[in-house]
Structure 1
Amino acid sequence: MSASHPDNAPAATAASAQAFQTRLADRAAAMETTLTEIFNRRSAAPPRLLAAMRHAALGGGKRLRPFLTVETAALCGAEAATALPTAAAIELLHCYSLAHDDLPAMDDDDLRRGQPTVHKAFDEATAILAGDALLTLAFEVIADAGAHPSPDVRARLTLGLARAGGMTGMVGGQMLDLAAEGRWGAARLSPDDILHLQALKTGALLAFAVEAGGLVAGADADVQARLARYGKAVGGAFQIADDILDHEADAETLGKRAGKDAEKGKGTLVTALGLSGARAICDELIDGAIAALDCFGAEADMLRHAARFVGARRS
């Protein structure tokens, strides 16, 4: 836990920190089971395609996005299990993005979560199709009646996922990220430009993961506004922490290639402001995320811990 947050929440004792780690692991296990069941119900798909989709989505990862969805829903009064289909749809869309981002035409990565990336384990064509299938499966899951009994809520969830993952969200951010490498001419990004890029590429889906939990639970407008502040701040902090890790950690710790941002000349706050400057903004965002939960009591502690975890993670 970051030492810069001693007063942001009830004192984070070793016991409460361990409780968070246990909850995170439990939610990840529940998501693994949910995703496995989703794939098992689609055994009619071509076997190689389904195997590549399983490779992309199963067997690793902290499952932070599903955690945020389920914990937010629980905070707002819903049973955790009712949020699992929505959380699974968000994770499927996230996994599609990883399969495509790892391709040679994008970030050209060989490792993901300590395992060969999809195009290395299979081939590029299969990786593209597996990503396409994961993306469309995400919308199939979130639009299905099993995601929520209310058609209106399902429509809002589907719209929100489309916006978070599309051209004004994750895909748009990836395009800006590629442009920042200088692929189509010289690119000079200010810190504000970098924050905007990251808010689309990474922050939009993380923020929606929080918003979706509130939608599933039927949270009122005031609560949703506070959750939006929290989600936006956590999303911003996550990407900055990722950039810091890319600079400081090794491939074995990360489970993927380290130092690639500097190799590709990517626009990050580490390159723009240095490590201390990037850490300062990351800490500020985490402070803001925790402050957004001031109206909640101890029942929001898991989300407070999640914000601290984002800033302190080492993989």
Structure 2
Amino acid sequence: MNKKRISLIAPFYNESGNVTEFFRRVAAIADSLSAYDIEVVAVNDGSRDNTWAELLEARARYSWVHLVDLSRNFGKEAALTAGLDRAQGDAVVPIDADLQHPPELLTEMLAQWEQGAEVVLARRTDRETDGRLQKFSATSFYRLHNLISHVEVPMDVGDFRLMDRRVVEALRRLPENHRFMKGLFAWVGFRTVTIPYVNAKRHAGTSSFNFWRLWNLAMEGITSFSTAPLKIWTYIGMAVSALALLYAGTTVIGTMIHGVDVPGYASLMAGGMFLGGVQLIGIGVLGEYVGRIYHEVKRRPVYLVREEYQPDNRPASAPSAAHERETA
């Protein structure tokens, strides 16, 4: 009887120091799950340190490692997409290489999957490893996104989850280049259960996600799944117009009763700058959506592969158009 295959997708970006421990812990879990055939799709997302060399060493040690080396740093969303395109498992699990996602949770995920769940979400029960600003910004983002979007992204749930093969095939049919994976995971749906886990500290190194990257990811999530930022400026315009009419009426009545006052340049300047700022913000919001349309219509591939090695330790052939995920 053939074993079910489980694919772990692990993006690596400057994770030197985490590679050896990551594969050691995954190997321990693979040994304990002898009823399954485990593979790891390790995607090197343009690392500038010794990550790729360490990945090659891991491939030489473990026969179930599938290595993908992207031509440059395309970002975690693209690296996850590259992994999804190559994962052959009956179930697929994206997991962080820094070991904040404990590989040992795979046992409980598989138990839920065997009971009929098509998606098993791992929800963080605490954010002790995050700073105050990161906690506040994450909570605010989830609340804002779910308030204005028709797709609800579960709170405190990242990319760490188990997905059935049919879920992965549904994700691979989504053509967009700008990919907010948490939103795409939520959009496809399917039968979902949630299990709790405690987010661990990084084994080594520091996170590459700074405030600017998190801000851009939040903007990506909001503009990918909601047009509310565009609609709200209609109401802002109506409110500003109503205030202007009210002020004009007040001025006319005051002039009729008290005569003509000498106009003040300070009030005119303040009003002009306020309206100019409102208009520029509105144009900026519109520009965010237009910019995303501009990038989508060019139909560039989400990522490019420089080098790839299959789990049987033989170098893969040159990446095909399907491997590079052209979205035309």
TM-score range, shorter chain: under 0.3
In proportion to residue count, which structure has more strand? 2
The structure with higher relative contact order (CA 8 Å, sep 6+) is 2
TM-score, with structure 1 as normaliser? 0.28
Question: Which structure's CA Rg is the greater one?
Answer: 2
In proportion to residue count, which structure has more helix? 1
TM-score, with structure 2 as normaliser? 0.27
